[in-house]
Structures are given as C-alpha cells and as structure tokens.
Amino acid sequence: MALSELLGHPFKDADLLTRALTHRSAGSQHNERLEFLGDAIVNFLVAEKLFATWPSADEGALTRMRAELVRESSLAGIARGLSLGDRLLMGPGEVRSGGFRRESILSDALEALIGAIYLDAGMYTCRQVVMPLFEPLIARLDPKGDIGKDAKTRLQEWLQARQRSLPVYTLISESGEEHARTFHVTCRLDDGVAADGSGKSRRQAETRAAEAVLAQLRT
C-alpha cells in the first residue's frame, strides 16, 4: 500500500514526501531539515494531547510521558508500522549495512515525514494524520507509573529500595563495522542473577541487559 494511503493524506507536493524519505547518504537533497522541523512538531502535538488527556497530571508526569512517546525506539516502532525502512532512499553503503533497519534512521525519517505533512497541509491536518499513529502508545501510559524511567534506573531503584548493591555492567564484546558497531554487555547482581544485552551503543546494551534482569526479578 502506498504511504499516502496508509496515512490517509495525499500529498499536494510530492517532492516533500520524496525529500522526507531521502537519507543524507543518497545525496544533498536529504531529509535532515524536515527532521528538525518534525521533531519540534511531534513534541508539541504529543504535549498537547497529554495535557488534554490527563488534566490532573503534574508537569513531571507529563514530561515523563512525553519522553516515553517521542523517544527513538517509540518513533522507530511507528516508522516500522508504516514500513518506512522499505521506502527510504539511501546510498549503497547504508543499504548494505542495514541502515533501513536502524532505529535512529527510522525515527529521523518519521520526524521528517511529520515535518513534510505540516508543510504540505498545515497544523490541523498534521494533527489529524499524525496523532492516530500515537494512540496505541498513549493508551498504555500510566502517569503514576514508571513512565520515562529506563530499565537501568528502574533496576537501580529496585535494588536501593531493598538496600542491595548496585548492578555491575561488563562489556563482553563489540562487533560490526566502525559505523555500525554492536555492543554486548552483561548485567550482574550481587546474588549472581545476570543477563546479557546488545545494542548499537554501550548504553543501549546496558539498558537491554538491565531489562532482562528485571524480567528475571519479576518472575
């Protein structure tokens, strides 16, 4: 299905859509300026929606929920739902390295797309097209929960509440080419509970390892 059909928005200016889907590796007419604009727009639209949905939530809760919705992995998930990776125009090097699957590239492309919709049709239409994409994520939010706290923070708080030692993160290995490294990390607790995690940065790998440890603790 064409992207315009998925979105329910036929572009008046087809060049805007093409630009939004063009990675910098494909040439000078790429999507980074649209990404800059889209980043600001999606933050505003999400903040507006949260403000209206939870009239009793304080600033801290609203800020955490917004951070959860606009973080890289959330935006990349929406991008995957639209099959943006398959629609991106990329240079041969990025295609070979799997750039169309990379969360940073997917999230940037979604923001560029949102910027393009805004320029093509204005804020009202942009809101109507974009916010339904976030509805499933918004439905899972709990302003009183651990929204916005990553797994490393949640694990640390769980341990501190029980007066236990903090986890130890150990880098096991790195793999891949220099521009597309993958880090492998182990997270270990003082009682021997441990789990591994991998990611495109050491921080991401540690976060995934912490999430795996939390899953063990919950069971």
Determine whether 187 is exposed, middle or buried from the number of CB atoms within 10 Å of its CB (0-12, 13-18, 19+). Answer: buried
Instruction: Say whether 68 counts as a known binding-site residue.
Output: no
The answer to whether 177 is a known catalytic residue is no
Q: Which of the following is catalytic: 68, 111, 120, 206? A: 111
- Residue 173 main-chain phi, psi, to 5 deg: -165, 165
What whole-number distance in Å separates Cα of residue 215 and Cα of residue 218? 5
Hey, is 148 helix, strand or coil? coil
The answer to whether 39 is a known catalytic residue is yes
Q: Which of the following is catalytic: 39, 94, 120, 150? A: 39
Instruction: Say whether 35 counts as a known binding-site residue.
Output: yes
In degrees, to the nearest 5, what angle opens at C-alpha 25 toward C-alphas 87 and 73?
60
Instruction: Say whether 72 counts as a known binding-site residue.
Output: no
Q: Could you tell me which residues are beta bridge partners of residue 169?
A: 187
Q: Which DSSP string corresponds to 90-146? A: --HHHHHTTGGG-HHHHHHHHHHHHHHHHHHH-HHHHHHHHHHHHHHHHHT--TTTT
Distances (CA, A) of 198 to 46, 47, 111, 217: 30, 31, 25, 20
Residue positions in the annotated binding site?
Answer: 35, 108, 111
Residue positions in the annotated binding site for Mg(2+)?
Answer: 35, 108, 111
Query: Which sequence positions are flagged as catalytic?
Result: 39, 111
